[in-house]
Chain A
Amino acid sequence: MSGRIPDPLRAGLASGWKVFDGSRQVQDLDWKADVVIVGSGAGGGIAAEVLSGAGLDVLIVEEGGLYSSADFRLNEAKAYSELYQESASRQTADKGVSILQGRTVGGGTTVNWTSAFRTPPDTLRWWQESYGLATLTPEAMRPWFEKAEQRLGIAPWQGMPNPNNLVLERGCQALGLRHARISRNVRGCWNLGYCGMGCPTNAKQSMLVTSIPAALERGARLLTRVRVERLQGDQAGKRIISLRGSLLAADGLTPSGRKLTVRAGHVVLAAGAIGSPAVMLRSDLPDSADLTGKRTFLHPVAMSAALMPERIEPYNGAPQTVYSDHFMHTQSLDGPLGFKLEVPPIHPLLAGVTFPGFGSAQAELLGRLPHLHASLALLRDGFHPDSQGGEVGLRGDGSPLLDYPLNDVVWDGVRRGWLAMAELQFAAGAERVLPLHTSAEPASSWRQARAMIESLPLQPLMAKLVSAHVMGGMAMGDDPTRGVVDEWGRHWMWRNLTVVDGSVFPTSVGANPQLSIYAFAWRAATALRIRLAAG
């Protein structure tokens, strides 16, 4: 079939990679490994590559299925149900924030939008000062960012931003706000705009096409469609002795009745910042600071839509290529929440569930999809004294639920975000601007928008808030009274347990987190490799 896009995962499977589909197992599995890695996303993928590279016997266990470019059809309905946590409809406990997370081999990296930022220096300094993480200087972290950037092709985007991103750029130029282009983890990108449905051309350098294949090539095993339920600790309260999971049926949701048991010398937890704390909570494995699942951050995102005179086609072209950090620096780090401005891609399904209004109001707005632009303001949570984030708990059936109360500091940030976005959108030539809130009406001038935004009731399920960045919940700290893990991700209590995903951050990152997770995971996995080699 010449001219067709090749699928490196299918080729690898044909070459004999040790990949097992949990839903096809006809008996319980009882396995051993040097290291078992829970989750195959940003943190798990990097850890798998680093540890398998040291000749260790690595087993990766992943709740989602193995889907690769041959399965990616640029189709939202298919992608959300196959590749996302809770079919992309995960929500916080009061349903005030919708959460996008990946649930497939490659985790969030398989579906993310490829924006890559190093951890901002002021965030690192805050962690040094407030959490005793003295060695995490920007200089000390630089080599880890560089390694990840080289490995994943992270570089400034050379292409022309799509019209959706150009609206933000023009607005910033008109108002004199600092802005820049975004670096992306792509190689040979076709500039399609369908990153969120899985990259059909393998240009996105996700874990799915980089670290996971590298680990499999070195003999690592991957078991998909298995939900890790619990870890079993020893009597002394020091070591994890086994891991238990439920194999899932072909629907990827219901347990098939088959069980997995793994005995491994070391456990690496990388199930994401909701999944990892949930494993610990289900296992009743404490930490001495009683912080597991607490201080979970989201970068809550407020959005503003605009109808533009020109064609935008917000579904076409690299999704995020322009950003502004102007409002990150208009107040102190721990003052009113700073926010980062970016734009989201807009595809029909997600627009249909996200854009407010029903009946003719919504139909008319979506009817002009080719002229729609949207901006987003991503709030930096976790620094202000009243910004303590949320808490992961368990439902009766053991599934995780994040309670993230929306308090005044968050709402204040949301309102400032809407104001900033509306002003920028009008400055860029918008005809109408609509903050995503059920009581908002499209405004035709900045004055009108400002008056409306100032009067919008700030209530959950009126303001539409979303998040694709879950962080914290098993944070690093310099001693067991103020952190769950140390700066190397090693659990302060369970010494053969290392956490390498987004849950190790003591606050939100203050920038799209993937590169931070890659760098910290690389650093943690390298330290672990050295410890394991030393015996």
Chain B
Amino acid sequence: MPSRRRFLQAGALGGAALLLAGYAAVPSADPAPADGQRRWLQPRDAEIVAALAPTMLGRADLPLAQVIDGVDLAVAGLPPATRQEVRQLFDLLGNRWARRWLAGVRSPWRQAGQAELADFLQRWRDSHFLLQRSAYQALHQLIGAAWYGNPASWAAIGYRLPAGVMEMLP
């Protein structure tokens, strides 16, 4: 199970980061979010998606709740083994020590600036570690699927369903 092994290594890496962190200032925690229930994403995961989506998708005016719901739906459709990996990824990113020392994002996700988030995405995308690249790709795919699968995204890219056919569907 190479993929799982890699995420366990991530845990080990996280452990090393935690040790390192002992020498530095304590990063501030993500405030506990209050809002609604989803099938799969926990409120803390939703905050991470909300923080990353505008930078990932290059749009400031996203309907964030819809993107979060889209990610939730996408994850719910994955087989348990893959869902478990996504769980580990969000748990890792949601850990403030890992956020600070693995992702290199100083402030809590909600407050992180766009430049800082873009740096993080780029670093993981181009990383020498397969683990970080696969984490980036997982975020890219989940957020990309959530947004571009949503008809709200289509006008901006000039896409439209063939109207005549839609009318003939039962």
Q: How far is the CA of A364 from the CA of B58 in the complex (A)?
A: 9
List the A side residues contacting B125 at CB < 8 Å. 358, 438
- The distance from the CB of B164 to the nearest CB of chain A, in whole angstroms, is 9
Q: How far is the CA of A315 from the CA of B165 in the complex (A)?
A: 14
The SS class assigned to the B binding surface is helix
**A359: CB under 8 A from chain B?**
yes
Within 8 A of A (CB), among B98-128: 118, 121, 125-126
Residue contact A367 to B168, C-beta cutoff 8 Å: no
Residue contact B161 to A367, C-beta cutoff 8 Å: no
Residue contact B158 to A370, C-beta cutoff 8 Å: yes
Residue contact B159 to A369, C-beta cutoff 8 Å: yes
List the B side residues contacting A347 at CB < 8 Å. 159
Residue contact B149 to A76, C-beta cutoff 8 Å: yes
The 8 Å CB contact of A70, one of B55, B149, B170, is B170
Give the size category of A's interface with B: 35 or more
Within 8 A of B (CB), among A20-75: 69-70, 72-74
- The distance from the CB of B45 to the nearest CB of chain A, in whole angstroms, is 18
The 8 Å CB contact of B82, one of A81, A86, A396, is A86
Residue contact A439 to B126, C-beta cutoff 8 Å: yes
- The distance from the CB of B91 to the nearest CB of chain A, in whole angstroms, is 19
- The distance from the CB of A305 to the nearest CB of chain B, in whole angstroms, is 14
**A1: CB under 8 A from chain B?**
yes
List the B side residues contacting A388 at CB < 8 Å. none
Q: A86-B79, A395-B1 are in contact. Are A353 and B170 (CB under 8 A)?
A: no
Residue contact A348 to B148, C-beta cutoff 8 Å: yes
Residue contact A348 to B157, C-beta cutoff 8 Å: yes
Q: How far is the CA of A4 from the CA of B167 in the complex (A)?
A: 8
- The distance from the CB of A227 to the nearest CB of chain B, in whole angstroms, is 11
Within 8 A of A (CB), among B122-170: 125-126, 130, 133-134, 137, 140-141, 144-145, 147-150, 153-154, 156-159, 161-162, 165-166, 168-170
**B74: CB under 8 A from chain A?**
yes
The SS class assigned to the A binding surface is loop
- The distance from the CB of A20 to the nearest CB of chain B, in whole angstroms, is 23
**B77: CB under 8 A from chain A?**
yes
Q: How far is the CA of A419 from the CA of B87 in the complex (A)?
A: 39
Residue contact B77 to A200, C-beta cutoff 8 Å: no
Within 8 A of B (CB), among A330-372: 347-349, 351-353, 358-364, 366-370
Measured CB to CB, the nearest residue on chain A to B127 is A461
- The distance from the CB of A282 to the nearest CB of chain B, in whole angstroms, is 14
Residue contact B158 to A360, C-beta cutoff 8 Å: no
List the B side residues contacting A89 at CB < 8 Å. 78, 82, 141
**A192: CB under 8 A from chain B?**
yes
Residue contact B126 to A363, C-beta cutoff 8 Å: no
List the A side residues contacting B36 at CB < 8 Å. none
Residue contact A95 to B153, C-beta cutoff 8 Å: no
List the A side residues contacting B55 at CB < 8 Å. 358-359
Residue among B58, B76, B149 with the highest chain A CB neighbour number at 10 A: B149
Q: How far is the CA of A370 from the CA of B3 in the complex (A)?
A: 37
Q: A349-B145, A353-B140, A461-B134 are in contact. Are A366 and B157 (CB under 8 A)?
A: yes
**B80: CB under 8 A from chain A?**
yes
Give the size category of B's interface with A: 35 or more
Within 8 A of B (CB), among A435-459: 438-439, 459
List the A side residues contacting B78 at CB < 8 Å. 86-87, 89
Within 8 A of A (CB), among B26-63: 55-59
Q: How far is the CA of A515 from the CA of B147 in the complex (A)?
A: 36
**B2: CB under 8 A from chain A?**
yes
Q: How far is the CA of A370 from the CA of B168 in the complex (A)?
A: 24
**A420: CB under 8 A from chain B?**
no
**B73: CB under 8 A from chain A?**
yes
Q: A74-B166, A95-B137, A200-B165 are in contact. Are A438 and B57 (CB under 8 A)?
A: no
Q: How far is the CA of A24 from the CA of B141 in the complex (A)?
A: 33
Residue contact B162 to A74, C-beta cutoff 8 Å: yes
Residue among B76, B121, B159 with the highest chain A CB neighbour number at 10 A: B159
- The distance from the CB of A317 to the nearest CB of chain B, in whole angstroms, is 10
Proximity string of chain A (175-198) to chain B, C-beta cutoff 8 Å, 1 when within and 0 when not: 000000000000000101000000
- The distance from the CB of A462 to the nearest CB of chain B, in whole angstroms, is 7
- The distance from the CB of B3 to the nearest CB of chain A, in whole angstroms, is 6
- The distance from the CB of B120 to the nearest CB of chain A, in whole angstroms, is 11
Within 8 A of B (CB), among A132-175: none
Q: How far is the CA of A361 from the CA of B59 in the complex (A)?
A: 11
Proximity string of chain A (84-118) to chain B, C-beta cutoff 8 Å, 1 when within and 0 when not: 00110100011100000000000000000000000
Residue contact A4 to B168, C-beta cutoff 8 Å: yes
Residue contact A93 to B3, C-beta cutoff 8 Å: yes
Measured CB to CB, the nearest residue on chain A to B151 is A75
Q: How far is the CA of A360 from the CA of B118 in the complex (A)?
A: 11
Q: A74-B162, A95-B137, A190-B165 are in contact. Are A363 and B57 (CB under 8 A)?
A: yes
- The distance from the CB of A93 to the nearest CB of chain B, in whole angstroms, is 5
Residue contact B81 to A397, C-beta cutoff 8 Å: yes
**A532: CB under 8 A from chain B?**
no
**A8: CB under 8 A from chain B?**
no
List the A side residues contacting B144 at CB < 8 Å. 349, 352-353
Residue contact B149 to A348, C-beta cutoff 8 Å: yes
Within 8 A of A (CB), among B64-106: 70, 73-74, 76-82
Q: A5-B169, A93-B2, A461-B133 are in contact. Are A399 and B58 (CB under 8 A)?
A: no
- The distance from the CB of B109 to the nearest CB of chain A, in whole angstroms, is 16
Complex A-B, nearest 5 residue pairs according to Cβ-Cβ distance, in ascending order: A352-B148, A363-B58, A77-B149, A352-B144, A87-B77
User: Beyond A89-B82, A359-B121, A368-B158: 20 further Cβ-contacts under 8 Å?
Assistant: A4-B170, A72-B169, A73-B169, A95-B130, A95-B134, A190-B165, A200-B169, A201-B165, A359-B55, A359-B57, A363-B58, A367-B156, A368-B157, A395-B4, A395-B81, A396-B1, A397-B81, A401-B3, A439-B126, A462-B126
* A/B interface sample: 17 pairs, CB < 8 A: A70-B170, A74-B162, A74-B166, A80-B77, A87-B78, A94-B3, A94-B134, A95-B134, A190-B165, A253-B80, A315-B159, A358-B56, A358-B140, A395-B1, A396-B1, A397-B81, A399-B81
- Which A residues form the contact surface with B (CB < 8 A)? 1, 3-7, 69-70, 72-74, 76-77, 80-81, 86-87, 89, 93-95, 190, 192, 200-201, 251, 253-254, 315-316, 347-349, 351-353, 358-364, 366-370, 395-397, 399, 401, 403, 438-439, 459-462
